[in-house]
Amino acid sequence: MVTLAKLRTSLFVVSLVCGVVWPTIAAAQIYESIGIRAQGMSGAFVAVADDATTTWWNPAGLATGGYFNAIVEFDRVDDPGATRARAFAVAVPSLGLSYYRLSLSGMRPPDPTDPGAASRQDQGVLSQFGATVGQSIGAHLVVASTLKLVRALDESRADLDLGAMAMFGGARVGLAVKNLRTPEFADDGRQLELPRQVRTGFAFKAGSASTAELTAAVDADLTTTPTAFGEARHLATGLETWLGNKTVGLRAGAGMNTIGEARWSGSVGASLAFRSGIFADAQLTRGDDRARNGWGFAVRVTF
C-alpha cells in the first residue's frame, strides 16, 4: 500500500527531476534567538525581562528596569541550519527602540518525512525594527506593546507584539505574545511564516544588590513553533545571581523541548562590570536541542 508520506516523497523527487520549483519554508525564530542574559538562564526570562532585550522578550518589562538600558549583542548557533542574530536596543521606562537582525538559515522542503533537513545554501535575513511603549495599570500591573516593521525575502510587513507583567513584592508573572498578525513573506518559491507565539513565565527575586541577589524563574511556551529541526515548544528553568554589589553576575538553566521525544539543553552565563552600569555578558548553551546549541556575547549599559 502506498502511504501518503511515500507519495509526497515521490512527488518531491519527480519535481526535482523535472526542474519544478518546490516551495521552501523558512523555520520561524524561537524566543531564545535573542538575549544573552535570557539564554544564560536557558530562556526563563519572560517574567525577568528588565534590560533592553525586554523589547524582544516581554514589552511590559520596559517599566521594570533602570532609567536607561542599552545593549549590543552577537549570537551564534553552532549548526549552520539554525539562527544567527545581531541585536541593538535602547530603552527608558516610557519607550524602547530596537533593531534585530536574524538569519533565515534552515530553509527546508515541506516534507514531514524529513523535518530536520535544513539547507546550508539557502540563507537570507530577517530584519525587525521596533518601537515599544507601555502603561502601568494600578500598582501591580504593566501592559505594553511593540509595533514593529519586519522585512524578509524583499518584502516588509507591519506586526505587533504584546506583553503583560504583574508584580507582587519579589514575585513576577509575565505573559508575552509575539507576531500577533502572523505575517507571511514569499519570494521566488520561498516562503517565510512567522506564527503567533505565546509564552508565560514566573520569577521570584530575593536579596539585595548590596549583599547577594538571586532570581529563580520558569518559562513555558503555550504555542508550538516550527524550526529547521522540527516543532518546538520549550519549557525552561533558570537562576541568576549577582555578587559584589552587582559587579559579577552568574547564570545557569535547563530547557526542554516538549514536542515528541524530549530534547534537553543546559546553559551557563556570566556578566562582568567594567565600571558601574556597564557590563560584558556571555553565554554558552549545549545539549540535544540543535536549535539552541551556541554561544553569544553582549555589551550592556544599565543606569
Share of the chain above pLDDT 70, in %: 82
DSSP code, position 47:
T
Q: Quick one: average pLDDT of 117-145?
A: 83
Q: What is the pTM of this model?
A: 0.86
What does the pLDDT look like over 49-72, one tens digit per residue? Answer: 999 999 999 999 998 888 999 999
pLDDT of residue 244: 86
pLDDT of residue 65: 83
- Domains of the chain plus CATH, in order, are 37-114+121-302 (2.40.160.60)
pLDDT of residue 122: 47
| Residue among 100, 161, 98 nearest 131 (CA) | 98
Among 21-35, 37-51, 101-115, 250-264, the range scoring the smallest mean pLDDT is 101-115
Cα 103 to Cα 167: distance, rounded to the nearest angstrom: 35
Residue 105 scores a pLDDT above 70: no
What does the pLDDT look like over 220-275, one tens digit per residue? Answer: 999 999 887 889 999 999 999 999 888 999 999 999 999 988 899 999 999 999 98
Residue 98 scores a pLDDT above 90: yes
For residue 275, count other CB atoms closer than 10 A to its CB: 7
pLDDT confidence tier of residue 38, bands split at 50, 70 and 90 = very high
What does the pLDDT look like over 164-186, one tens digit per residue? Answer: 999 999 999 999 999 999 999 98
pLDDT of residue 27: 56
What does the pLDDT look like over 137-150, one tens digit per residue? Answer: 999 999 999 999 99
pLDDT of residue 261: 84
Selected residue with higher pLDDT from 227 and 44: 44
Question: Which residues, 6 or more positions from 249, have their beta carbon under 8 angstroms from its beta carbon?
Answer: 37, 240, 241, 242, 243, 269, 270, 271, 272, 279, 281
> Which cell is 270 given?
556570566
pLDDT of residue 80: 65
